[in-house]
A and B are shown apart, each in its own frame.
Chain A
Amino acid sequence: MLAAVRSATLLGIDGQVVTVEVHVSKGLPGFSVVGLPDAAGRESRERVRAALLSSGLSWPLQRITVNLAPAGVRKSGSGLELAVAAALLGADDQLPAGTLDGLALLGELALDGSVRPVAGTLALVDALAAAGTECVIVPPENAAEAALVPGVHVRVARNVGELRACLKGEAEWPDPPPPESAETDDARGELLDLADVRGLGQARLALAAAAAGGHHLLLVGPPGAGKTMLARRITTILPPLATTEALEVTRIQSAAGLRTGRGLATNRPFRAPHHTASVAALVGGGSPRPRPGEITLAHRGVLFLDELAEFRPSALDALRQPLEEQQVHLSRAAVSLTFPAQLLLLACCNPCPCGLALVRCRCSDVQRARYQRRLSAPLLDRFDLRLAVGATNAGAPPGPPSSEVREQVRVACERQRHRLARTPWHRNAEVPGSALTTVMPLPSPVAALWRDLCDERRLTGRGAARIHRVARTLADLDDRATVTAADVHTAADLREEVL
């Protein structure tokens, strides 16, 4: 007998619909899985068998063949097991014919027959919905996430025995559990506040500009100046996620296995990988199926690289192209994937190996040059905002609290949205140099000052454009329609040759 049911497997951060076919026939009792499963998929045989037997269902002592179609695509993970179990019940006549039509199942099985959550539910259900599936049966932990996809009926399977009863109509479908109370990481965010940081007026301004305009920010200074402390508090002033952005974030986090039992993401991601991170860990990679790296996990959020100069130069230079394109194309022999990477890069480093104040440095010229060579000029050029942070007096007054800055950032984002409404861009930092004069022109005396300033500092066209954008963001933060000379001066000061 033959039965087939739909399921899906992850390919990067996208779902790939898989049809699970099970054939039960006379012959030597056995169970084989074909269709390029990975090791977890091959092992599913033991879990499916134990789950059925523990649930009081019978295991056909016949030759069982499971095919995962399309046969040429590699399937990853154990999320197909629930579908295998259901199709097996269908093929073994333990379910009435036709009950599995139009259904899709996702879930891993435990040996006692209960259903365990899978990664990437949002992407998987999305792909199934696009393929015309009407009803998706998911593990209870994934229900809230699956419900984010419109047009699909979500049902919950807690264990195999209950699933069979519900499919046969002998029992009511259980209610999906209520989503876990919003964001657990909210609690941590609440503890941080910009008011904790003393002094650093210029760096604070730069942080607000980075959060509002999406400008990459590099802070250079001696240890203990408060660079890291300040940078970590950017989470408290970032603008809220729009719904489409939240869906993207949820999809990526879910595919990476970072969220289970939670619905839509509400916080912008903040990723702070340690400086031993490899190229693959930063930009994504792995074989045979590349996984998203930190830049993708930081999509729509912040990638914070503390001690930038300690990262491998190869890993840092791998960031250059994704930062420019806001996505990364990973090509492997088997597959070629594109991951989104629209992020705000926030980085801190010391000015030299001794890290001491820029004035009191005791490093030799050669040492300093070697240290600074680790950061390539093209990478440094990606930072719109670069500034030297000096040691702060312990007695310096605390700055404005996060709530105040957050409001400024929100106002600035509002202004940007209005200005860029009929353009393909969303933030000041994204506007290309060629469009600057049409989208955000400078008033003529300010434009003259801007040109003089760029000439004096011998800036390239790219550097000049960056000052223009930052000046615009500074005016936005101040809720002003026109950019003033002071904005241009301040913007130029926020882009120093810091090393």
Chain B
Amino acid sequence: MSAPAPVPSPAALDDRRVAAAALACLPGIDTDRLVALFERCGDPRAALDYVRSGRYRPVGKPIVATWPNTLTPARLDALAARLAARGTHVWIRGDADYPIEPAPFDAPVVLFGEGDPTVLARPLVAIVGTRSASPHGLRDAHRLAEYLAGAGCTIVSGVALGIDGAAHTGALDAHGGTVGVVGTGLDIEYPRRHHALYRRLREHGLVVSEYGFGVPPEPYRFPHRNRIIATLARVTVVIEATVTGGARITADLAKSHGHEVFALPGSRRNPAALGCHHLIRDGVAPLVDPSDVLLALGITAAPIGWDAAPPQRVSPTASRLRRALAGEPATVDQAAAQSGLTLAEVAAAARELERTGALERRRGLLWPR
């Protein structure tokens, strides 16, 4: 079912695109108004002229009075120069090169993109999840993204902390394609901790937003941008999610668009897995093997399992510790109590497992992988 996505050629910035960008960049404009303007006028240039004329006066929006002044020819030239200098792509809904195909009714009328748009031509898989993810979730997101990107997919996610960041990083680490759909203007990097990730995304992937330059991060915009993730990707995978979080919204939207959704089951002791378990109960398929995603895309793949390398041989105390932890995180004290080892033995065994990659330390706990 992997319909060949249209290859958006980096189309030249013409008047139409600059006009669309200028409208999207108007101070205080929201998606509904932009849609209304486009629908009324049909063409961005017509919409621009209409706003310039000062006849557009929606009720209860005093800032609209300033819009004609922000659309002077000099300002438009400056915006065109800025778009060109940043290498920003401007896509308009209904155009042949519009990346979301088929475009649902709520697809953004204007979409900005920075980076390499050719990654959109590959099969798109969304990997989403909670921002407060467990080390296990982060690792699984990274591993899955690495595998899928290596198999030729492009990973779509939201550049948020937690699962999103791990998914993008996994795809980039595999030298694969990835698309970050953000809820701010493309000139704003949020969260700031992802500064380095943004740079990598711009160099080797693509950052996409429906918001004009200067739009700040606001809580209500993030669930809204999730619909772009859900519509872009053919398959959506939820790694770890809260019951009512943004990942849940993305999964529900993807389902409503008829796209395949997977949820990764986790331990009942892991609260971050609860959202996935709710999804599975509501009929979402559990993701048993990474290759299931490829099968859903119509790509033949053999099951590969989650662990890249088989467990290595370790000393008897280390394997005793590993057995005692049974995959669950524990403090050193708990590990000692469960395994019957002394604190010093746990310390040495934990280090051994750490070196073989079977265990990591986070927030003062031992997390078996």
Contact = CB atoms under 8 A, between A and B. Distances in A.
B161 A365 contact: yes
Contacts of B334: 390
B132 A203 contact: no
B313 interface: no
Nearest to B362: A497
Task: List 5 A-B pairs, minimum CB-CB distance, nearest first.
Answer: A388-B364, A489-B347, A486-B344, A390-B331, A498-B364
A364 B365 contact: no
B347 A390 contact: no
Nearest to B346: A493
A220 interface: yes
Contacts of A490: 343-344, 347
Given A201-B337, A498-B363, 17 more contacts: A199-B333, A200-B333, A201-B333, A203-B333, A358-B331, A358-B365, A359-B134, A359-B270, A364-B131, A390-B330, A390-B334, A453-B351, A486-B345, A489-B348, A493-B343, A497-B362, A497-B364
A396 interface: yes
A205 interface: yes
Contact of B364 (A200, A492, A496): A496
B281 interface: no
A457 to B, nearest CB: 9
A202 interface: yes
B115 interface: no
Interface in A203-226: 203, 205, 220
Interface in B322-346: 329-334, 336-337, 343-346
Nearest to B331: A390
Nearest to B330: A390
A388 B331 contact: yes
B55 interface: no
B269 A359 contact: yes
Contacts of B336: 201-202
Of listed B162, B344, B361, residue having the most chain A CB within 10 A = B344
Contacts of A487: 344
A485 B337 CA distance: 21
B271 interface: yes
A370 interface: no
Contacts of A320: none
A368 interface: yes
Contact of B361 (A393, A486, A497): A497
Interface in B135-181: 161-162
Contacts of A393: 337
A365 B132 contact: yes
Contacts of B134: 359
A205 B331 contact: no
A493 B270 contact: no
A200 B351 CA distance: 21
A34 interface: no
B235 interface: no
A104 interface: no
A499 B329 CA distance: 15
Contacts of B361: 496-497
B141 to A, nearest CB: 14
B271 A388 contact: no
Contact of A362 (B270, B271, B346): B271
A497 B361 CA distance: 8
Given A359-B365, A497-B364, A498-B363, A486 B348 contact: yes
Nearest to A499: B363
Contact of A358 (B162, B346, B364): B364
A60 to B, nearest CB: 74
B355 interface: yes
B323 to A, nearest CB: 19
A392 B270 CA distance: 19
Nearest to B271: A360
Interface of B: 131-132, 134, 161-162, 269-271, 329-334, 336-337, 343-348, 350-351, 354-355, 361-365
A466 to B, nearest CB: 16
Contacts of B132: 361, 363-365, 368
A493 B347 contact: yes
A202 B333 contact: yes
Contacts of A360: 269, 271
A302 B71 CA distance: 67
Nearest to A362: B271
Interface string A370-392: 00000000000000001111101
Interface in A444-470: 453, 456
Interface string A153-167: 000000000000000
Interface of A: 199-203, 205, 220, 351, 358-366, 368, 386-390, 392-393, 396, 453, 456, 485-487, 489-490, 492-493, 496-499
25 contacts: A199-B337, A200-B333, A201-B333, A202-B343, A203-B333, A358-B331, A359-B270, A359-B271, A364-B132, A365-B132, A365-B161, A387-B364, A388-B364, A388-B365, A390-B330, A390-B331, A392-B333, A489-B344, A489-B351, A490-B344, A493-B332, A493-B346, A493-B350, A496-B364, A497-B361
B347 A497 contact: no
A389 B348 contact: no
B216 to A, nearest CB: 15
A329 B131 CA distance: 45
Contacts of B345: 486
A444 to B, nearest CB: 18
A489 B347 CA distance: 5
A358 B367 CA distance: 12
Contacts of B346: 493
A351 B363 contact: yes
B244 to A, nearest CB: 12
Contacts of A220: 364
A487 B344 CA distance: 7
A141 B187 CA distance: 73
A396 B105 CA distance: 61
A368 B271 CA distance: 16
Contacts of B365: 358-359, 388, 390
Contacts of A492: 347, 351
Nearest to A489: B347
A314 to B, nearest CB: 24
Contacts of A390: 330-331, 333-334, 365
B335 to A, nearest CB: 10
B152 to A, nearest CB: 32
Give the interface centre of B131, B269, B329, B365 by most chain A CB atoms within 10 Å. B365
Contacts of B351: 453, 456, 489, 492
B100 to A, nearest CB: 29
Nearest to A388: B364
Query: Which of A366, A496, A497: most chain B Cβ within 10 A?
Result: A496
A470 to B, nearest CB: 12
A388 B363 contact: yes
Given A388-B364, A453-B351, A498-B363, A365 B332 contact: no
